[in-house]
Amino acid sequence: MSSEPVEAERAMAETEAVPFEAALKRLEEIVERLGDGNLALDDSLKLFQEGMELCKLCTKKLDEAEYRVEKLMETSGGELTVESFEVKE
């Protein structure tokens, strides 16, 4: 019996505990290393997999933050209401 599913679950649980900023920094490092093109195929695949997991984690954390912002929007009358969060450019 393979321990890969157990190891994958453990790695994902550890990844979930990583703060957004640390995950993003590591993702940037991975992109840079993969972009250099100096890695062996196996190493590239491992980094790519790690990068995809970090990308999912960052997306999840951003979605959660957006939801919290939506929940915290306050009307002019002081009541809390759910509103779409729009970034002003």
Query: How many domains are there within the chain?
Result: 1
Against a cut of 0.85, is the pTM above it?
Answer: no
Residue 73 lies in a domain: no
Residue 53 lies in a domain: yes
One digit per residue, the tens of pLDDT, for the chain of length 89 reads 455 565 655 555 566 788 999 999 999 999 999 999 999 999 999 999 999 999 999 999 999 888 877 777 666 666 766 666 565 55
What is the structure's pLDDT at 31? 96
What is the structure's pLDDT at 16? 74
Q: Which domain holds residue 40?
A: 4-63
Phi-psi region of 73 (alpha: psi -120 to 50; beta: other; left: phi over 0): beta
CA distances from 28 to 12, 17, 38, 47, 69 (A): 19, 18, 16, 11, 26
CA distances from 16 to 8, 53, 58, 79 (A): 12, 10, 9, 33
